[in-house]
A and B are shown apart, each in its own frame.
Chain A
Amino acid sequence: DIQMTQSPSSLSASVGDRVTITCRASQSIIMYLNWYQQKPGKAPKLLIDSASNLQGGVPSRFSGSGSGTDFTLTITNLQPEDFATYYCQQSYSAPTITFGQGTRLDIK
């Protein structure tokens, strides 16, 4: 099984800040890395697929990069609605996908 490791597990930031979340795969997943945002009591929302492909309707302050085993999600100019938990997910071994453990982004 492909293991996904996110860091940090939690992060405090202020409105207007720039934050970066890292996701590392236990083996190369080429570019099959996706990012979800989840708010309490809600289903995950897809932000980015294929490492860097921003979904329609997702603000351009979200961006993704990386390939192989190392990936990042960057959020610039943090907005109040961005405080949530973020998960990376590998789909290289789809349909048996795996998620990172999540990064909780809190308001400082």
Chain B
Amino acid sequence: EVQLVESGGGLVQPGGSLRLSCAASGFTFSSYSMNWVRQAPGKGLEWISYITSTGSTIYYADSVKGRFTISRDNAKNSLFLQMSSLRAEDTAVYYCARSEERLVLPSRYWGQGTLVTVSS
């Protein structure tokens, strides 16, 4: 069974940093690209970052470019999101989601999310 479990969320002050993790199991993690998607309280879904299986290609949404860094450790079946210069508008539930082998197919597997709150 595919499982994605996010961790690392919490309360952080504006301008601060936080590192999110996503532990993957039930599939060959090193064979799949991965994504981070977030959802602000009461708002819609926003894709924020993508990384290929080897980490060689990375994309970011403009809203986080230059502040967030996606990475992965295939030996540890883990995906990461390093967030810095955090703003109040980064407050959201952050989900990791597995890409499918055909990139145009949508993510079927998502984690349960981890809440990041940016507030003083």
Contacts and interface: CB of A to CB of B under 8 A. Distances in A.
Interface residues of A, number: 24
Interface string B95-113: 1000100011111101111
A38 B39 CA distance: 11
A94 B101 CA distance: 12
Interface of B: 33, 35, 44-47, 50, 59, 61, 95, 99, 103-108, 110-113
Given A87-B44, A95-B35, A99-B44, A44 B110 contact: yes
A99 B37 CA distance: 10
Contact of A44 (B45, B46, B104, B105): B45
B61 A96 contact: yes
Given A34-B106, A91-B106, A96 B59 contact: yes
Given A43-B112, A95-B99, A101 B106 contact: no
Interface of A is mostly: loop
A99 B61 CA distance: 13
Nearest to A29: B104
Interface of A: 32, 34, 36, 38, 42-44, 46, 49-50, 55, 87, 89, 91-92, 94-102
B56 to A, nearest CB: 13
A32 B50 contact: no
Contact of A91 (B59, B105, B111): B105
B78 to A, nearest CB: 18
Chain B CB within 10 A, most for which of A43, A89, A91, A99: A43
